[in-house]
Structure 1
Amino acid sequence: MKQKLVIKVSMSKEKSRSKAMTIVVGVHGVDSAALAGPEKTQIEVTGDGIDSVSLVTLLRSKVGFAELVSVGPVEEKKKEEDKKKTEEDSKPPPAPVVWSYGYAAGPPHHYVYQTSSAAGGHYYNDNDPSCAIM
Structure 2
Amino acid sequence: MKQKIVIRVSMDCDKCRRKAFRIAVDANGVSSVALEGDNKMTVTGERVDSVSLGRALRKKLGHAVIESVEEVKDKKEKKKKEKEEEEDEENDEILLPWYSYAPYPPAVACVHHEYDSGCTVM
User: For this pair of structures, how many residues does the alignment match?
Assistant: 77
The code of the aligned residue for 1:74 comes to: V
1:13 is aligned to 13
Question: C-alpha deviations, 1:33-89, integer Å up to 9, x for none?
Answer: 01113xx211100001111111000000011200000000114446xx9xxxxxxxx
Partner amino acid, structure 2, of 1:18: R
TM-score, with length taken from structure 2: 0.59
Structure 2: where are the runs of 5+ without partners? 80-122
Alpha-carbon distance in structure 1 between the residues aligned to 2:66 and 2:15? 21
TM-score, normalising length: structure 1? 0.54
Moved over 3 A (4+): 75-78
Aligned partners of 1:75, 1:7: CA distance in 2, in Å? 20
Q: Does 1:58 align with 2:56?
A: yes
Q: Please, which runs of 5 or more residues in structure 1 have no aligned partner?
A: 82-134
Alignment of 1:1-134 (within 5 A): 1-37=1-37, 40-77=38-75
Amino acid at match of 2:50: S
Letter aligned with residue 24 of structure 1: A
The whole-number CA distance in structure 2 between the counterparts of 1:69 and 1:28 is 20
Deviation string 1:75-133 (CA, Å, 9 cap, x unpaired) is: 4446xx9xxxxxxxxxxxxxxxxxxxxxxxxxxxxxxxxxxxxxxxxxxxxxxxxxxxx
**Percentage of matched positions with identical amino acids:** 51
AA aligned to 2:29 is: G
